[in-house]
Every structure is written in C-alpha cells, then in structure tokens.
Structure 1
Amino acid sequence: MRLIKTGFCSLVTAGSICGCTGPSAEKPASEKYNVLIFTVDDMRDYAGFLNGYAGKVYTPNMDRLAAQGVAFTNAHVTATVSCPSRNAFLTGLRPSTSGLYNNGQWWKAALPDIVTMPQYFKNNGYYSAGAGKVFHHTPGNNPPCSWDEFQDQVFDDPWYFQDWSPEKYWLDFGYRDPKVPMPDWKPLNGIPKIGNNDWGAIPGKEEKDYGDVQIVNFARDFLAKDHDKPFFLAMGTYRPHVPLHVPQKYFDMYPLDSIVLPVIKEDDLDDVPAEGKKLAMEGNNVFVKIKEYGKYKDALQAYLACITFADAQLGAVLDLLEKSKYADNTIVVFWSDHGWHHGTKQHWAKQTLWEECTRIPFIIKIPGAKYSDNICTRPVDMVNVFPTLVSLCGLPSMEGLDGHDMTPLLENPQAKWEYPAITEIKVGNVAVRTENWRYIHYFDGTEELYDKTTDPNDWYNLAGDEKYRDIIESHKKWIPASFAKPVPSKEKYYFDPGTYTYMDRKTGVMIDGRK
C-alpha cells in the first residue's frame, strides 16, 4: 500500500523522492531535515517487530519507532564484522570497493581521501556531531575530520581497551598480564578463560555510570540547544556487544525458565562447503565452553538483557527528540552493525554469511509520514543509507557510492525494488539475499543456496541440485566483479592520538586525521 499522507512531501522535492540528488534537488538550509542515526552493536533480528526470537523480547522503543516509520524486515548488513560494516555504512562503499575487510585496518590512514557520511553533511552546511560507538571505537578509527563535535568516548571496561600491545589485547581472563589491573569480580559468569564473552551485572555499578547511558546525556544537552544549522547527529551504544554487562534489573526481565533456545540441527554443517565450515568453527570454542559449564540459557538471557538495555537508551533519546523543537523536522535512522549466532551452525559469534549474522533491525522514520502499510519486505543492505539520506535532505549527489537511493521504498514500502541485499566477509566471500532466496558464494567458487520460503533457518543447501542452476545464476550476477586488495593493517602506521595523525613507519609520510 502506498503512503497515504506524508509530511515529507512538503519538504522534499518531487525530484528527490524519485531519486534525483543533483543540484536541482538542493534545498535551502531552513528547509533541510536534521538527521539522527542510532546504532546498536551486534544485535541480530531479536526485536519485537521482527519476530526473530522465538520467546518474548522486550523492545518497546524499537517497536514504537518501527510503527512510526518504515520497518525494513528484510534488511541485512554489508559486512558481518564491526569495523567493515560501520565503514561501509558511513562511506557508502562495500569492502570489495574500499579494501576495508577487517577490524585491523584504519580507513583514514589507508584511504585519506574518503569522505564519510558525517563529513559530507558537514561539508554541505550541516553541524555534525556524534556520541558513543559510531565508527569502530578502537583508537584511530574515529578521526575528527568527520565531526564538528564528538562526545569524549566512554568505555564501560576501560581496563580492556588500555592499549593495543599484544600482551594486553584480546587475552582470555586468567591469562592477562599481571601488570594490567583486572577487577576482582571478573569473570562474572563463572567461566574462566573465555575472553571477553563475560556477562552479568557489575557489582556496585549504577545504571547512570554505564557508557551507553552517558550518550543519552549528550543527546539531552545537544537537543536542548538552539542550532543555527541543520544537524547530523550519530549515536551508538556498545550493547549488546560482549562483554554483556548491564544492570541486574534487565536480567530480571528474562527469568531463565522463560528463555527459548534456538533450534539446532546437529548435522547442519554437513552440506556446507569447507570455507563456510571454517567460518563457523572460528566461533565454536566459545559455544563449547558455554555448554560445558551448563550456561547456555544464561548466555542468551544476558544477550536479551543487553538488547533491552540498549532499547531503553533508544527510548530515552526518542523521548528527548519528541520533546524538543526538532521533533517535526528530524529523520531518525535505527540499525545494527551485524547479527550474532547463538549456537546455530555450531557458531557463537559473528563473521558468517547466514541469516543470523546478516539480518538486523533497520528503521527509517520521516517526520510526518503516515502509511497504510509501513512494513517493507524488500531486501536492502546498509550501503543504501548514505545515498538515501543525501536524497532526502536535498544535498548535491555524492558520486561513486555503491548503494542505491531507497526513497521509493520510503514513499511506498511495497514499491518495486530490483536490488538484492549483498553481504561480504573477508575477501571473496559474499551472500546475496533476495526476497525468497539466500545465495552464498565463497572465494574458491563453492556455493550455498537456501529457499527462504521453506527453509528460514538455512538448513538445506540446494546449490548441488541442477534444477536450481538458473536461480543460482540469477543471483551470481550480483557478486562483485572484482575485490579490492586489502588495505594495509594498522601495523604499517604509527598513530599519535594527541594530534590524530598516522605516520607510515617505512616512508615517514604523515596523514592528518583532522583534515
């Protein structure tokens, strides 16, 4: 059903709704939308409006936003690991285009000429501000060039991110360098040597002291100010990323006897190619450990608690926006950087190409828009957000982006849409998701195909059946024709956080992250 009443038609030109983002679609600053982006971390399709979880999940604010905007129920990430996913969202470029494939790369050092979404809005008359986890939060990934203002970053576990020396980084609890102080309450879940996969309520820590709550404080101050420019405000929570530490009241909302575990097919990997099995086994050790200690339901309880905690922060920000003078002129975008496996495919992590890892909650709310049916089942991925916001806000077109303008789907969520959702992990591994199929193509040419109308769990790989060859070929055409060479790792550069500069250790060339 089409949009039946829309406040955004009076603000956005007809040309921009049709996808025109050229100079003719530019709008006076006084008429431009503000943009508020809210990102959550590692959240799969466990939102009430998505029905991804078989039990009861409490996401009243996500559900409220979904009812107010367009709820994309077939939305998928562009990459299934944090840094590449966020880089793709914020640059509009797929990993196969940019060469940004993993968490061990600095986009600014390797590709200094890239213009990010907040930087593009800033360059076009917007006040650009951010808080929390927007880019990947590790040092060097959030250069000042994108922002007019950014909240001082707050980590809930500062000891964990002290620096990046090998003896301190990603070490299992119990093996940590004794010179690095480790709180005596770790691990809370009682499972030793399980890395950062801890969970529980931190003793003595009040809710107001959690970093995710502090981004709400930033929003409160920001939305109370008088802004003489339209603003671009990006915010992000750290939860439900591990470690799953949130106040006890959120755990109490999910009694263990109410937890519904995912259905696991024990031979699920038998028809999966070797590369797929390799990706699955990279997260198997944590799952084995959780089961060994009899903590399967406890782990899922913690994940759900963190989702509801993140939802509470979203609700607080939405309340602040609704009470502000900017309520009637601010686009709201809500998304997650990727999903998470909870034992399916014997995997407990991200970094795969199956539904649990690619499908996310994704909502766009246009102020004043009303729909007779606001559910969009068309497949979309996150490189589409950049060109869509450029179009909606009437900015000059941004050349060279990989995504497509989704304003036709915001005008009519059931409109025809010819593009699939494309997801990448590492070099050459790609999933193509259409409305009825999931096709996976690995770098070595091996394949998977799942009929989503009859196989929602990706259990039965049909790629070896010749009668599906035409379907495979129709999906295969969306695989990138080439894959960019991975950009150099962080080790290539010396990073100075004081000046936010990157120096090539070999050539001495300096890159200024402030420009």
Structure 2
Amino acid sequence: MNDWVGCLNGHPDAITPNIDRLAARGTLFTNAHTAAPVCNPSRAAFLSGRGPWTTGIYHNSDNWDQSPALRESALFPRHFRNQGYRVMMGGKLYHGAPKMAKDIAHEDAGQMGGQSFRVIADDFPDPFKDLRGVHNYAVHWGGLEGDKAAQLSDPKIATWASKRLSQTYDDPFLLMVGFHRPHTPLTSPKEFWDQFDREKLTLPPLNPNDLEDMPWMGRQVAIAGFQGMEGGHYKQITERGHHRDILKGYLAACAFVDAQIGKVLDTLDASPHHDNTIVVLFSDHGWGIGERYHFKKWGLWDDTTRIPFIIHVPEVTAPGSRTDAGVTLLDLYPTLVDLSGIDSPSQPLDGRSLRSLLENPNAQWGRPALTTYGPNNHALRTSRWRYIRWADGSEELYDHKNDPNEWSNVANDSSNDQIKSRLARHFPKNNLPAIASDHASPVTLTPEKNSLKFSAVQPNFVDQPITIRAIIGPKFSDGVLLQHGGQYCGYALYVQNGKPAFAIMNVPQPLNWNTLDPTRDILISDLTLNPGKKHQIEARLHRDGTTILTVDGTEVARSRAQTLSIHPTGVMQLGAVPDKHLPVGDYQPPFPFEGSIESVTVEFGGESN
C-alpha cells in the first residue's frame, strides 16, 4: 500500500476510515519509507532488522536461505517466541516459504492470503491480450460478486485474527496479520468497487518533462525497468484508455483492505486486550499509478517508497500525534524489542528504536530514511530532501519544500553540494552482491544450470563489451543458444538455417516513455555448421560497436551495432526464449535449440575487447 490513505493526504479520493482512526489513536509517521521497494527484500528487512546491503536480498528472486546474514539472524517472530511470547501468524508475512521460517509456522489462515491472482471479474475486457511481454496475469481489475468475491482471503484473515484476539492467553502474545490487498490483481468485492466513480477520480499529477533531468538509470527504473509491457506500461495503459480503471482498482482495493483492518480493530476494542496491546500498522512498499510515467513498485521515489506507518502504545503515544522524522521498516524490530522489554537479538540491527519519537514526536532524530533497490542504488529521505544515488554514481536530488512532486532534479546545482555531502555519509559503504538477481562477469550456463535472473537495474552491461562463448554439438538444430534481455534491450546467440547468428536489441536514447520500441542489429554467418562435431561459437560486441562472429577460432562475420543503452533486466536463458519475453533476434519464441549444448559463457564489462 502506498501513501493513499486519508491521514497522509496521499490521494483526495481515498476511503480509509479505519486506518485513519488508528492514526487518531497513536503516532503517525508521515515520513516513513520501506527499506526496499519490492515485496521479498522489504519483508526480509523488517523481519530480520537487516538491510538489503547486508543480506544480499534485493529482489523477489533472492533466496533468504542462501543469505549467510539471514541464516545467522533470528527473525523477530522467532526471537519473540524464544523470549516467551505466543506467536500467531496468518496471511502474507514472509515472501514465499523460506526454510528458515518453517519452525515459525503460520496457522490455519495460510501463508499468503488474498492473492486470488486468477479470479477475474466477469466484465474485465482483457485489453492487453494482444501484447507480448511480461505483463503477467496480475494486471487486471474489477468488482467481484458471489463465489468469486468469496475466494478472496483477506476477509478470512480478518476473521482468523479476530478469533485470536477474542481469546485470553497465559503468556504475552505477538499476533501478526498479513493482508494481501492492495497488491495486484486490482479486484475487490463489488461493494468497494462501486464506491468510486471512474470519471470523477483525480489522476496523479504528471509533469510532461519529468524525465528530462533524470540520469539513464532513473529513467529506466521509471519507465523500462522490471516486468515491462511491450511498448511500455504508461503508453499502453493510457493510450488504450485504462489509467482510470487501474486508479479505481487501486483505490477500491485500499478501501477493501481498510474494512478488514476495521474488523480487527473492532475486535481488539471489545477484547480484554484493548488497553495493554501495542498496535502497529504498516505496508511493505509503495506503488506507482502513473507518476513520472511509472506503474507498480520497483522505484526510489516517494510514490514507491513512502508507506503508512502507525504505532499505538497505550499510555505512551499521544492520540493523533505525528512526526516527520525519516524512518523505515528497519526500525520496526528494535522498536518492538525496546517497547516489550525483551532481550535484544544476537545479530546486529540496522535500524534503531522509535521509542524517543513515540514519547516525543518532536524529538531530534538525526538520520534520514534509507531505501535500497539493488546493489548501490539508494535513496535518502529527510523531511525536506530526497537524495538518490545510482550504482553508476549518477544522482537525483529533490527539494520537497519547493518541489513536493519530485519533478525538478537539482543534483547538478553546485549550491546543493553541501547538502549532498551531508546526506551522503548515510549511504551504506559496502553492498553485498545480490544473492540471485545480479551476477559478476563471467557467468556460465549449462544444461544443469540453465538460467540466471538480472532483475535490479545496474550499469554493468550499458555501453560495455559483451562476449558470448558457446560450446555446442555434435547434435545440432536451429534455435536459441542463449538469450538475455527483458522487453526493451538484450542480446542473443542462436542458430538459424544451420548458421550462427548474433543479435543486439536496443531502444533509442534519450530514453522516454513513448520510445520503447526496440530495434535489432543482427549479424549472420555465411558458414553453415557441420553436424556431427563440436563447435565453439564466439559472438563479441566491442565497446566501439564492432560485432564479430567466430566459429572454432575463425572469423565468419563482422558488422557494427549499438552497445546496450540500458540494463537488460530479465532472464538470461540457455536453449530457448524465456516465457513471455520478446525475441531479441529474428525468430518466434520459444525457438528452442534441440541440439546439444555443453556450456555458454558470457563476459561483460571490463577493458575493451
């Protein structure tokens, strides 16, 4: 959930009376942000108290069980249980089912709650079915009735939580309730869908020149980052007339989950626990609905990082109190430990207790909120400034006092150098590599390990040399040996009509929302491969754009192409085109290679080759 709740004035049409009434009871953190703008790393961060840069969990594909830092950490539900608490959990709390959490079992409410990705409204027009690309089935909206509405799990989660609150316990308890909405799909029961008049809704403000002063990494994250749609989300959604449908779907989903929150709060108020229970409400990340041409999460601006965060502590928090201190979900774990009076966990925590702000919302905090999206991509947020530094060293700086929409990047204004210098000391000095979503050169794929994900935007392919070396045969066929790319750029080595070919796919620069139509440079050999023997095929893109194909050490083709202009977010796949991805070369997916592949190695970056 983003900041579109009434108490944060995030959107004028938001209907969230129950979140607002909790804010009226406790302390509202008006400048609260996620530690990572993606589900998996955000949850890893707040449950462990450790930032992505220390765990290597930056994206949804990064596995908690493969993180040494997480394996050595006590997730806070386990820590509370070890300290004598009865821990009850239901709904979406972890992301997936990490093995390290198996002994902290969810109860009968289930692990995810409310997904229902494939429950589609009867009148949904499916307006994107003709498009290729990774716009998954979660991109749909509408009001649900009858059996379809009954499949939504969030009301069941609310009922489960209410039953737990109605009981008494001999031990102190920690009740964790994870609602799924307003995560996609943007469907909700019709009673909530009908609360909003599509034509009267207020679209988010948009500056037509917003991208002009962004560095390329910011532009790519905004409009051409992870999980793209052919032609770009903004272009397809707006030109096909569905911006208001998605806006309505999001607001209705927020109203729907707010009602479930209300059920839990009502039960708490009527229970014996109402005057001695700490209540915390927060979401895992924000959500873009077209601001800076951006949809979904995966960004480092306010629309994707700012979240509702409310804490009510009986006899501590003043009703209706607010603080604009820059805080993040990394502060949750140490705060709960402090307020509960239990021992601190053995692992270091990257956040700190919010007790001082709960007792005095005007207390000095002295630290900005920090959000991370991929190694060395960070954003800092104070009450006035947002400072973004990307992995290639490029920057964005926004002055919220004069620019609340973050439309004017003033990072290159020398008068702001001291501000940047003062803030920069809060950037992490060391960033672990991503566990599974980014990789150092060289990488090798084999039939046993046939794919790698490159999710978060990084600079290591952009304007860089790339070399692919494939060992194939003796069995041959036409098909893809290796493709790496998302919707807008990438490269591929393949065999067509018995001849090796090398393709580079790019989008024009400067990157913009309406220019996401890729072009392809294809180099095809005149040599036909010899069946019955092994071949080593090498495709090389030089830094100056020269492309060369060699077979068994002999050059068989040479041409020129543009080096990659943006990061190829997506899957590097051996032997076929990844599901739902656009073809990089002149072929139709999946175009599988049905011969024998021993290995394919890719080198990228480094000195010119």
**TM superposition score normalised by structure 2:** 0.67
Instruction: Please report how far the alpha carbon of residue 202 of structure 1 lies from its aligned counterpart in structure 2 after TM superposition.
Output: 3.1
Letter in 1 for 2:56: G
Contact 1:208 1:214 in 2 (8 A): no
Instruction: Please report how far the alpha carbon of residue 220 of structure 1 lies from its aligned counterpart in structure 2 after TM superposition.
Output: 2.1
Match of 1:79 in 2: 36
Match of 1:9 in 2: none
1:119 aligns with 2:61: no
Please give the alpha-carbon distance, in whole angstroms, between the structure 2 residues aligned to 1:139 and 1:405: 28
- Segments of structure 1 that go 5 or more residues without pairing to the other structure are 1-42, 161-181, 493-515
1:393 aligns with 2:340: yes
Please give the alpha-carbon distance, in whole angstroms, between the structure 2 residues aligned to 1:93 and 1:65: 27
Instruction: Please report how far the alpha carbon of residue 405 of structure 1 lies from its aligned counterpart in structure 2 after TM superposition.
Output: 0.9
1:32-79 deviations in Å (ceiling 9; x for gaps):
xxxxxxxxxxx11100000111x2211000100000000010111100
1:442 aligns with 2:390: yes
SS at match of 1:375: strand
Contact 1:131 1:215 in 2 (8 A): yes
1:381 aligns with 2:328: yes
SS at match of 1:371: coil
Match of 1:51 in 2: 9
Contact 1:119 1:147 in 2 (8 A): no
- 440-449 or 141-150: which moved more? 141-150
Query: What does 1:93-492 correspond to in 2, within 5 Å?
Result: 93-111=50-68, 112-136=71-95, 138-140=96-98, 143-147=101-105, 149=107, 151-153=109-111, 156=114, 185=122, 187=124, 190-192=127-129, 193=131, 194-195=135-136, 196-205=138-147, 207-281=149-223, 282=225, 285-369=232-316, 371=318, 374-398=321-345, 399-488=347-436
Contact 1:128 1:149 in 2 (8 A): no
- Segments of structure 2 that go 5 or more residues without pairing to the other structure are 439-447, 450-609
**TM superposition score normalised by structure 1:** 0.79
How many residue pairs match? The answer is 428
Please give the alpha-carbon distance, in whole angstroms, between the structure 1 residues aligned to 2:206 and 2:302: 14
Letter in 1 for 2:19: M
Larger Rg over CA atoms: 2
Q: Which has the higher helix share?
A: 1
CA RMSD of aligned residues (A): 2.3
Contact 2:58 2:437 in 1 (8 A): no
1:68 counterpart (25, 33, 58): 25
Please give the alpha-carbon distance, in whole angstroms, between the structure 1 residues aligned to 2:84 and 2:36: 30
Please give the alpha-carbon distance, in whole angstroms, between the structure 1 residues aligned to 2:112 and 2:47: 21
Letter in 2 for 1:77: T
In structure 2, the CA distance between the partners of 1:157 and 1:62, relative to structure 1 (3 Å rule), is: closer
Letter in 1 for 2:403: D
In structure 2, the CA distance between the partners of 1:297 and 1:477, relative to structure 1 (3 Å rule), is: same
Please give the alpha-carbon distance, in whole angstroms, between the structure 1 residues aligned to 2:317 and 2:424: 37
Please give the alpha-carbon distance, in whole angstroms, between the structure 1 residues aligned to 2:128 and 2:261: 31
Please give the alpha-carbon distance, in whole angstroms, between the structure 1 residues aligned to 2:58 and 2:110: 27
Contact 2:287 2:296 in 1 (8 A): yes
Please give the alpha-carbon distance, in whole angstroms, between the structure 1 residues aligned to 2:108 and 2:355: 29
SS at match of 1:153: coil
1:90 aligns with 2:32: no
Contact 1:80 1:352 in 2 (8 A): yes
In structure 2, the CA distance between the partners of 1:280 and 1:304, relative to structure 1 (3 Å rule), is: same
Instruction: Please report how far the alpha carbon of residue 221 of structure 1 lies from its aligned counterpart in structure 2 after TM superposition.
Output: 2.0
1:331-373 deviations in Å (ceiling 9; x for gaps):
1110111111111111111111111111111100112345276
In structure 2, the CA distance between the partners of 1:272 and 1:487, relative to structure 1 (3 Å rule), is: same
Contact 1:102 1:426 in 2 (8 A): yes
